[in-house]
Amino acid sequence: MEYNDMELMISLASRYLEDDSIVVVGTGAPCAAAMLAQKVYSPRLMIMFEAGGIGPLLPSMPISVGDSRTFYRGLVASSMPEVMETCQRGLVDYTFLGGAQIDRYGNINSTMVGTDFQKPKVRFPGSGGANDLASFCWKTMMITPQDPQRFTDKIDFITSPGYLTGPGAREEAGLPPGSGPYKVITNLCVIGFDDETKQMKVESTHPGIEREKVIENTGFELLWADDLTISEPPTADELKVLREEVDPYRYIIGRA
């Protein structure tokens, strides 16, 4: 079946969310991935929203983390402090984050571009809860287009910590041992992180994408898995559920 880049990225992300795990998501592609996972692969996946919705069975795509749909048939209608405390207690397996820049160690910038904090070239919304989520959830994932401006050797501001400067840096900063960036899913490939160096390592390239194109769209040198594979395209079942149940109005998958 034909599919677009967004449908591919959402489908790939959904496969990492196993049953009985907990994920904090925002709106957009991460929410679509969690909904798809819950409907196709992981019916006991626990979805949480920053504004307080815990364990909803989402009837349709919410437009914000405070949308009433994020509480639909949920276990708890809580608050932001309770959700963040749950992360701090080490109970949350996954989170999805986004940003304007990301470096080889998975540090994310969603604050500013430029060198002067008071007068940046561009100012973005900032952290919200992203720093807390990146600090205390066990595995951080990102769904994003890939280009050299976004994947840059040196980001202008660390909003959300990845592996900071490399091995041991998260632990030295007081963050939970074993936590950190997990997967970056782009329109070109799926990227993990090397266990020893904590740098980005390409695990699979998408169908029809050559290694050279990935390199051209990255502003630093990537590591490559020895067992590099081709990403599995969306299945007919994934596309059907995604198009008919998760995002029938194509709010998200129509952006490709």
User: 255 lies in a domain?
Assistant: no
Tens-place pLDDT, residues 130-154? 999 999 999 999 999 999 999 999 9
Residue 231's closest CA among 3, 9, 1, 6? 9
Predicted confidence at residue 59, as pLDDT, reads: 87
DSSP 8-state code for residue 95: E
Tens-place pLDDT, residues 6-18? 999 999 999 999 9
Predicted confidence at residue 255, as pLDDT, reads: 77
Q: Using an 8 Å Cβ cutoff, are 233 and 8 in contact?
A: yes
Tens-place pLDDT, residues 38-54? 999 999 999 999 999 99
Q: Using an 8 Å Cβ cutoff, are 120 and 112 in contact?
A: yes
User: 222 lies in a domain?
Assistant: yes
User: 38 lies in a domain?
Assistant: yes
Which pair of tokens denotes residue 37? Answer: 């996972």
For the segment 158-170, the average pLDDT, to the nearest whole number, is 97
Chain position carrying tokens 């990146």: 134
How many Cα neighbours within 13 Å face the side chain of 47?
30
Residue 241's closest CA among 90, 36, 91, 88? 36
203 is catalytic: no
List the domain range (segments joined by +) for residue 190. 5-248
User: 58 lies in a domain?
Assistant: yes
User: 37 lies in a domain?
Assistant: yes
Residue 125 sits in a domain of what CATH number?
3.40.1080.10
For the segment 96-117, the average pLDDT, to the nearest whole number, is 95
Predicted confidence at residue 256, as pLDDT, reads: 64
Average pLDDT of the chain, as a whole number: 96
The percent of residues in the chain predicted with pLDDT above 90, rounded, is: 93
3-state helix, strand, coil in the chain (%, to 5): 25, 20, 50
> Is 92 a residue whose pLDDT tops 80?
yes
> Is 109 a residue whose pLDDT tops 90?
yes
Chain-centre distance for alpha carbon 143: 5
The helix or strand, by DSSP H or E, that contains position 140, with its residue range, turns out to be strand 139-144
Predicted confidence at residue 1, as pLDDT, reads: 78
Chain-centre distance for alpha carbon 244: 23
**How many structural domains does the chain have?**
1
User: 253 lies in a domain?
Assistant: no
Q: Among 2, 7, 18, 50, which one carries the catalytic annotation? A: 50
